[in-house]
Structure 1
């Protein structure tokens, strides 16, 4: 089969597309013919080697976590799925089992979704059936952004009428978080570039701050002198944003690396780093919202499998709106 392969740690430039053996499912595992796979920053963070002491990779390594595809084989003791089932979800590299335990119980592991075939654990809540009305490329872009957005909503306890600044709203997680916040009646102030204005407002943002030409904190306080109820940081960690939060408010961070709460010189500010988690039924909820139109397809660019290394390079070197999706099997 054809797959994206890295044979050493490095940048996207170490990725190639090669012929590799088709993975075979073991007990409680399913083999999936991948239809579409999304490009995620976490794929490159793992590949870079920055986490190698915690999660050492085994080479050759096939990246790719978020996917949609068709079950083509099941291993022993699999009762949840059958051959022919359309599925979607997220799996992390087998070398990252400790981190995968933070995503779901049991952990969701994979041989790598950037391939014509991949093996996934069958019993994890991070896999679900894909509704017919949810097209594969849309489904492939939902899991990590959607599960992260749900975790932010649960941690933030947002209420209708609150004002929330979302930094990095035009990216993948923003594409899920902004609509969910707007649906909850939250007044969303989004940071984005002017060329992303229509996109972000279409997601449900009430205001936009151009972070390239304006200081985000200063501009937000100019518009809202009393401050905002919360900040959700989806971009580079910015302790400066803490000053726009009202007394007793909260700052939720999704970006890597996590900020140190000590960086914020305010005892009345709650600072939390939020990780996406998959609870039973979460993917079904996201799929239902997507089918109903509440989570629009934010696919920004599409690539064939042979151009997947370029997709990873584009993620690093170009401005990205929404999700970059590789159409592994575009039939």
Structure 2
């Protein structure tokens, strides 16, 4: 089968298309024919080698985590899914065991979604049946972003009228965080460049701050002298948080998921995705209802997957980049 592979650690230059054996499911696993796969920065971080001490890769490595597709084979003991089921979800390389365990239990291992076929653990809550009426491309943008957003919203009692600054609102995770907050009646203040303002408002932002033309902290306090209720950081590196933290009023919250994380001495809280059984089904339902909108910003064919990852690194694309099988 055709797959995007890396044969060594490095940047996007080590990614290339190759013919590799079709992965077969073992006990408790399913094989899926991939219809669409969403790109995530974490895919490239694994390939870069930044996690090679804690999550060493086995080469050749097929990147990719988010996906939607059709179950084509089931392994022994699998009852949750059957051949022909339309599914969506996410997975990580088995060699990234400790990282995958943070996502959910059982861990969502995969052979890599940037391929014609991939194998997944059937019992993981990070895979679910594709709801009727949800296109594969839309579904492939949801798992990592929405399963990261849900723990953020559970971390505090976000409610009607609260003022929340979302830094990185037009990125992949922002495409889930902003509409989910807006659905709760939160007054969302989004960071975005002028070209992306319409997109941020379509997600549900009530205000937009151009972070390139104004200092984020002073501009937020100029607009809201009493401070805001919470800051959700999806983009700033940890060492940049102290400068913007004063925008949060006393008793408010600063929630961070960005990499690299702030050090423990800073007192800032970093949250990690922890998917619960039923979370992905909830995500699918919210997408069908229109609460989680289609955030596809650019599409590529599987044979263009290396170029898609290059675009993720070198070009500004609001929303998600998706690779499709083209069948």
TM-score w.r.t. the length of structure 2 is: 0.97
Give the aligned partner of residue 7 of structure 2.
7
* Equivalent runs, 1:230-249 vs 2, <5 Å: 230-237=230-237, 238-239=240-241, 240-249=243-252
Asked if the contact 1:31/1:71 (under 8 Å) is kept, the reply is yes
Establish whether residue 263 from structure 1 lines up as the match of residue 266 from structure 2: yes
Establish whether residue 317 from structure 1 lines up as the match of residue 314 from structure 2: yes
Q: Any idea what SS the aligned residue of 1:172 has?
A: coil
Counterpart-to-counterpart distance in 2, 1:210 and 1:168:
11
Structure 1 unpaired stretches of 5+ = 265-270
- Mean Cα deviation higher: 254-263 or 68-77: 254-263
Give the aligned partner of residue 303 of structure 1.
300
**Alpha-carbon offset, residue 145 of structure 1:** 0.3
Deviation readout 1:127-183 (Å, 9 max, x if unpaired): 000012000000000000001110100013212211000001001101011000001
Counterpart-to-counterpart distance in 1, 2:314 and 2:174:
19
* Equivalent runs, 1:1-331 vs 2, <5 Å: 1-237=1-237, 238-239=240-241, 240-263=243-266, 271-328=268-325, 330-331=326-327
Counterpart-to-counterpart distance in 1, 2:259 and 2:309:
17
**Alpha-carbon offset, residue 261 of structure 1:** 4.6
Deviation readout 1:260-312 (Å, 9 max, x if unpaired): 25336xxxxxx311112211111111111111111100000000011111111
**Alpha-carbon offset, residue 218 of structure 1:** 0.8
- Mean Cα deviation higher: 102-111 or 275-284: 275-284
Counterpart-to-counterpart distance in 2, 1:263 and 1:131:
42
**Alpha-carbon offset, residue 98 of structure 1:** 1.2
Asked if the contact 1:80/1:123 (under 8 Å) is kept, the reply is yes
Deviation readout 1:89-113 (Å, 9 max, x if unpaired): 0001110111111111111100000
Q: Any idea what SS the aligned residue of 1:321 has?
A: coil
Asked if the contact 1:156/1:252 (under 8 Å) is kept, the reply is no
Counterpart-to-counterpart distance in 1, 2:132 and 2:250:
47
Counterpart-to-counterpart distance in 2, 1:58 and 1:3:
15
Deviation readout 1:195-226 (Å, 9 max, x if unpaired): 11111001110000000111111100000011
Counterpart-to-counterpart distance in 2, 1:13 and 1:315:
13
Structure 2 unpaired stretches of 5+ = none
Q: Any idea what SS the aligned residue of 1:125 has?
A: coil
* Aligned residue pairs, count: 324
Give the aligned partner of residue 268 of structure 1.
none
TM-score w.r.t. the length of structure 1 is: 0.96
Asked if the contact 1:4/1:114 (under 8 Å) is kept, the reply is yes
The 3 A distance-change label for structure 1 pair 261 and 165 is farther
- Mean Cα deviation higher: 233-242 or 280-289: 233-242
